[in-house]
Amino acid sequence: MKNELSIVIGYLYGDLMNIYGDTGNIIALKKRAEWRGIEVSVKNISIKDSLKPRQVDLYFFGGGQDQSQNLVAKDLKSKGNVIKQEVDRGVPLLSICGGYQLLAQYYKPHEGPKLKGIGLFQAYTEAGSNRMIGNIVVESMFGKLVGFENHSGKTYLKPEAKPLGKVIKGFGNNGEDHTEGCIYKNAIGCYMHGSLLPKNPYLADWLIKKALETKYGKEVELEPLDNTLELQAQQKTIQRFG
Ligand code: GLN
């Protein structure tokens, strides 16, 4: 079945920032949209590619090691303003771990200077001495979310920043204050690799809905899908770890 709707997913630095299955998020978004007859194209946006407003309807930015973050942080300076403007007009965005860190104020690695972020999220990250690794379960406005985290960076939210959710199991932003991630307008930063979206279909659909609503300027109701398998995978993780 086909309808007239289409979206462009902008994959930020997918060649450099993609670990623990992050690309699975793009696949889940694409499939869930296509199953509803929504046409999807994926635009890879990496170092030296130009980025203009209204080229992308939904952004994704995955995680990566410090070395990749270093390269990406330099290039992001030229794209930061467009990304912020687009989020301000409602374009949804999902970022994970290293991507999330670079969209906030700064990331201070173990060695070397601070990497300046674009300041979309009012938060900052400093490398800690312990790795925060394992399965994570979070209570959020999307219900329970499950994922896999692996980071040493500790992210602290400024008072004006809103967390994505509360950690039930795992470490989240910093392993101290039980917050996980950050949400600003329709942009989300979090520590949940996994892949995240195949096991958390309500979050995937929220991103698609926001992309369509922002693009077409009207409310959109997505056709329901059979989420039996997706929710089984989610429930299993909650039962085992939550
Ligand atoms: N450098 C980051 C950290 O360890 C990012 C790691 C990641 O993206 N998984 O905190």
Which residue segments constitute the domains of the chain, with CATH numbers given?
6-241 (3.40.50.880)
Q: How far apart are CA 216 and CA 231, in angstroms?
A: 30
- Taking only the tens of pLDDT, the chain with its 242 residues reads 557 999 999 999 999 999 999 999 999 999 999 999 999 999 999 998 999 999 999 999 999 999 999 999 999 999 999 999 999 999 999 999 999 999 999 999 999 999 999 999 999 999 999 999 999 999 999 999 999 999 999 999 999 999 999 999 999 999 999 999 999 999 999 999 989 999 999 999 999 999 999 999 999 999 999 999 999 999 999 999 87
- Kindly state the tokens that stand for 171: 């470490």
pLDDT score for 242: 75
Task: Based on the residue annotation, tell me whether 182 is a catalytic residue of this protein.
Answer: no
Atom of ligand 1 nearest to the CA of 17: 8
Calculate how far, in angstroms, residue 38's C-alpha sits from the geometric centre of ligand 1: 33
Q: Is 199 helix (H, G, I), strand (E, B) or coil?
A: helix
CB 175 within 8 A of CB 193: no
| 147 C-beta closer than 6 A to ligand 1 | no
Calculate how far, in angstroms, residue 125's C-alpha sits from the geometric centre of ligand 1: 10
pLDDT score for 1: 52
- Kindly state the tokens that stand for 13: 């630095």
